[in-house]
Amino acid sequence: MTDIATRGTRVVATTGGRSRHNGGGPRAGTIAAFLIPFFLPFVLFYLVPIAYAIGQSFLVVRRTGGQYGTSYTTFGGFDQYVQVFQNTEFWSSIGRIGLFGIVQVPVMLFVALIMALLLDTPLLKLKAFFRIAAFMPYAVPGVIAAIMWSFLYSPQLSPVVDLLKAIGLQPDFLGPGAVLWSAANVSTWLWTGYNMLIMFSALQAIPQELYEAAKLDGASNWAIAWKIKVPIIAPSIILTTVFSIIGTLQLYAEPAVLRQISSNISSTFTPNMLAYAVASGNNYQQAAAISVVIAVITFVLSFGFMRLTSKRAGL
């Protein structure tokens, strides 16, 4: 990537240098004027909040003279983190989201990959239609998608429930065992097409000549897909996996909407919902510690996955 990004930046020898000062490009002030409009808000709204959250997470609120004394905030070391790790609700939210991710991410990416490969073969007609149909959910905000699906899950309104009952089934999409997978389905619906398009774009960039030798040797479309195409687009598959892991750990909107119609989703269903619930209870330092832990887990998992897979794939 760095290769591509810097290709255009090689400095062309300046001709004459009449209008240039010492031939080395624009002045520092000019460069700063290009960078500051982005970097100022970036620092203020990305870096400062991160630093602030980390700072808050090391504070505790104590009271002087028992329960009715005045409260004051002081340095508490790792107290907040100890509390996070002793919180059973935190662990169950992590467990839930782990189960969700282990099932939902591979299923979604597998479907996306199959669709991308099929769209890349001559076997298929109506390609534009299928591509648009799959990508359309990306235009739908997560909240709206969850509201739409919650109607399709609702025992009173859902045509899906009606149809399943007609063939003798008794589906309960909002029951205690099913509701996690109902939420997973909303995520799958939203993001499959997006991931599919990333993979499909990578497939389109492969030069056709690469397949021709294989075709002359009599390789089937199937073999070409799995033995040639998939390994080539491995970086895209890794990228979509990393984005999916990040997205899963941040899950909020979909379960929050389903919570409005199902009593089987608690206010601490996902780590993010827990952080929000704690912050709503005015325990900002604890909420900050939870946010930091979620961020660290996200970071470790996504980088760990990238490391692991890029070594394996020899990238």
Partner 1 sequence: MSNQTAMRESRVSRTAVMALMFLLAIYFLLPIYFLIVAATKPQGDLASTFGLAFSHFDLFKNLGTLFSRSDGIFGRWALNSVIYAVLGAAVGTLISALCGYALAKFKFRGREFLFSVILGGVLVPTTALALPLFLLFSATGIVNTYLAVFLPSIVSPFGVYLARIFTAAAVPEEILESARLDGAGEFRTFFSVALKLLTPSLVTIFLFQFVGIWNNFFLPMVMLQKESLFPITLGLYEWNGQTARVSLLQESVITGALVSIVPVIIVFILLQRFWRTGLASGSIK
- 158-187 residues in contact with partner 1 (CB under 8 A) are 158-160, 162
- Return the residues of window 60-79 that contact partner 1 according to CB under 8 A: none
- Return the residues of window 188-217 that contact partner 1 according to CB under 8 A: 189, 192-194, 197-199, 201-202, 204-205
Collapsed DSSP state (helix, strand, coil) of residue 96: helix
Cβ proximity to partner 1, 27 vs 69, nearer residue: 27
Choose one: 46-54, 75-83, 85-93, 95-103; the region binding partner 1 (CB under 8 A): 46-54
Q: Kindly state whether residue 230 participates in binding partner 1, applying the rule CB under 8 A.
A: no
Of 22, 45, 68, 263, the residue at the interface with partner 1 (CB under 8 A) is: 45
How many residues make up the chain in this entry? 315
Separation of alpha carbons 208 and 204, rounded Å: 9
Q: Kindly state whether residue 130 participates in binding partner 1, applying the rule CB under 8 A.
A: yes
Cβ contact 269:96 at 8 Å: yes
Of 82, 99, 102, 124, the residue at the interface with partner 1 (CB under 8 A) is: 124
Residue with tokens 């909240």: 143
Q: How far is the CB of 65 from partner 1 (least distance, A)?
A: 27
CB atoms inside a 10 Å sphere around CB 241:
19
Q: Kindly state whether residue 56 participates in binding partner 1, applying the rule CB under 8 A.
A: yes
Q: How far is the CB of 152 from partner 1 (least distance, A)?
A: 6
- Return the residues of window 265-304 that contact partner 1 according to CB under 8 A: 272, 275-276, 279, 284, 287-288, 291, 294-295, 298-299, 302
Cβ contact 97:248 at 8 Å: yes
Collect all residues with Cβ–Cβ distance below 8 Å to 100 and sequence separation of at least 6.
180, 183, 184, 248, 251
Collapsed DSSP state (helix, strand, coil) of residue 259: helix
Separation of alpha carbons 44 and 280, rounded Å: 24
